[in-house]
Amino acid sequence: MITPLRKLNAAQVADWERNLSQIDSRIARILEKPFQDQEISTAEGEQLFYTEGADLQAVLQAADLIRASRVGDEVSFVITRNINFTNICYMGCRFCNFRKRFEDAEAESLSLDEIVRRAREAWDRGATEVCIQGGLHPKIPADHYRNILMAIKAEVPDIHIHAFSPFEIWFGAKKARCTPAEFIRDLKVHGLNSMPGTAAEILDVEVRKQLTQDKLSADDWVAIIRAAHDEGVPTTSTIMYGHVDEPRHWANHIALLRSIQQDTGGFTEFVPLGFIHYESPLYLDGGARPGPTYHENIHMHAVARLMLAGWIDNIQVSWVKMGPDLAREMLGYGVNDLGGTLMNESISRAAGASHGQEITPREMVDIIRAAGRVPVRRNTLYEVVERYEDHDPADIPPLVPRKAETTVSGSESFDTLEPSTQCK
C-alpha cells in the first residue's frame, strides 16, 4: 500500500497500485520508494534504466505521478537569449563541434558592444534572462568575464545574467590566479546571478578521459559547483548522455547531483542533454554511439525524476536536443519544464542538431497545451511570471538571424584589451 501523495486523487492511486501489483516485485519495491519519501539508491536507479515492457511502463507512470505530486500540472518556460560570445577554444573536447580555431573561417568573438546590444534586444523582446557561455579563448583576459557582466548590467540592470560554465570558471580563475570561489565571488559582485551547470557531461573519470582528456575533472566540476552554491550563486545541473556512457554512469551521476543538493540546495533544476553526434569528432572517429535512443531518452527523464524526488523537483527537457514533438512527449514522463526560448543557440546546431534557434513563447504555450498541461512563464529561479490559463502570450515573431556588424573574426578582438587585474 502506497502513501497517497498530495495532489493525487483516489483513482490515480488505485490505478497505480493495480499496475504495481502486475510487475516484477523487485522493480515494484523500488518504485514504491519515492511515494514513501524514501530514496532510490544508485544500484536501484541503475536497475530502473534497464526496465522493459510493463516494468518500463510502471517506471513512466511513477515518474508522471511523482511529478504531479511534487510540482502539479503546470509546465514552465523562460524567455531567455543565448549569447555565445566566442567559439574560439583551445580545449578540443572530442564531443564538441562548436569550438573553432583562430584560423577557421567560422571563428568569431563578439565585441562587448554586440553582447550588450543582444542583451538589450532580448530584454525589449520580453526576456528576463540572458544565458552567456563561450569557448576557452586562449587570449581572453580573465577580467573579460567580469567586463561582460558589468557592460550588460549598465545597459539592462534588471536582466538576470545566467553565465559561465564550471569549465569557464576553472579557466578564468586560473588566468586570474585565484581560486574558483574567489573568481565566482568577484563575478557575483559585478552582476552574475546564476550559472549553468553545463560541462558536467558524465561525472566519471574514465568517461571524461574519453570526452575531454579529463581537463576539467569530475572533482573540479563538483568543487566549482559547490563553491558557487556556497557563494549564493545557484546553478542548474545537467548530464550529457548517449555517447560512451552506460546506465551505471547515469545512476552514479544522478546520485552525485542529489548528494550535492542535499548539502547545498543550490540546484534549480536537472536538464538531461542528449549527445548530438552528427558533426562531433568523437562520433566521426568511431568512438561513440550516435546519441541516445528513444528508450534511453524516456528512461533518463523518468528515472531522474524518481531518483531526485524531493531534492531537485524541476526536471527540464531540452527541446533543442530533442525537437518540439519529443519534448512534448517527455512531459508525460516526469518533466515539468521546457527550458528557454533561446533566440540564438549555436552549440547544438554546430554539432548538427536540426533544432535550436528559437521557439517563441506562443509556440511554447501550444506545446504545453497539446500535452494537456497548464503553461506558465517563469524566471530563472522558477518564480512564476505569468500564467496562461485563459489567455495567450504576446505574439512575438522569431528573431531573424543576422550577421552582426560588430562581430570580429580571429583573435584580434582580445589583443587590445588590458591584462587581467581580476582577483589580484
Look up cell 574519453; give the residue.
210
Interface mask toward ligand SF4 for 79-118; x: CB under 6 A: ----------x-xxx--x-xx-------------------
Q: Does 349 bind ligand SF4 (CB under 6 A)?
A: no
Residue 167 interacts with ligand SF4 (CB under 6 A): yes or no: yes
Minimum Å distance from CB 168 to ligand SF4? 8
271/399 with CB nearer ligand SF4: 271
Distance CA(168)–CA(164), nearest Å, equals: 6
Q: How far is the CB of 51 from ligand SF4 (least distance, A)?
A: 32
C-beta atoms surrounding 211 within 10 Å: 23
Distance of closest approach, residue 60 Cβ to ligand SF4, in angstroms: 32
**According to the binding rule CB under 6 A, does residue 300 interact with ligand SF4?**
no
CB of 188 to ligand SF4, least distance (A): 22
Distance in Å, CB of 268 to ligand SF4, minimum: 21
Q: Which is nearer to ligand SF4, 173 or 298 (CB)?
A: 173
Contact 301, 315 (CB under 8 A): yes
Q: At closest approach, how far in Å is the CB of 269 from ligand SF4?
A: 21
Q: Out of 107, 136, 152, 239, which residue is the one contacting ligand SF4 (CB under 6 A)? A: 136
Q: Which is nearer to ligand SF4, 211 or 302 (CB)?
A: 211
Per DSSP bridges, beta strands 337-340 and 74-78 are: parallel
Question: Which is nearer to ligand SF4, 99 or 305 (by Cβ)?
Answer: 99
Note whether 378 binds ligand SF4 by CB under 6 A: no
Judged by beta carbon, residue 136 or residue 169, the one nearer ligand SF4 is 136
Binders of ligand SF4 among 180-199, rule CB under 6 A? none
Give 311 or 414: the residue with its C-beta nearer to ligand SF4.
414
Tell me the number of residues near ligand SF4 by CB under 6 A.
Answer: 10
Minimum CB distance to ligand SF4 smaller for 99 or for 349: 99
As measured in angstroms, the least distance from the Cβ of 285 to ligand SF4 is: 15
**Minimum Å distance from CB 240 to ligand SF4?**
10
User: Minimum Å distance from CB 87 to ligand SF4?
Assistant: 7
Question: Cβ closer to ligand SF4: 135 or 266?
Answer: 135
Q: Does 135 bind ligand SF4 (CB under 6 A)?
A: yes
SS3 letters across the chain: CCCCCCCCCHHHHHHHHHHHCCCCHHHHHHHHHHHHCCCCCHHHHHHHHCCCHHHHHHHHHHHHHHHHHHHCCEEEEECEEEEECECECCCCCCCCCCCECCCCCCCCEECHHHHHHHHHHHHHCCCCEEEEECCCCCCCCCHHHHHHHHHHHHHCCCCEEEECCHHHHHHHHHHHCCCHHHHHHHHHHCCCCEECCCCCCCCCHHHHHHHHCCCCCHHHHHHHHHHHHHCCCCEEEEEEECCCCCHHHHHHHHHHHHHHHHHHCCEEEEEEEECCCCCCHHHHCCCCCCCCCHHHHHHHHHHHHHHCCCCCCCEECCHHHHCHHHHHHHCCCCCCEEEECCCCCCHHHHCCCCCCCCCCHHHHHHHHHHCCCEEEEECCCCCEEEECCCCCCCCCCCCCCCCCCCEECCCHHHHCCCCCCCCC
In the complex with ligand SF4, which residue's Cβ is closer, 88 or 159? 88
Residues that bind ligand SF4 (CB under 6 A): 89, 91-93, 96, 98-99, 135-136, 167
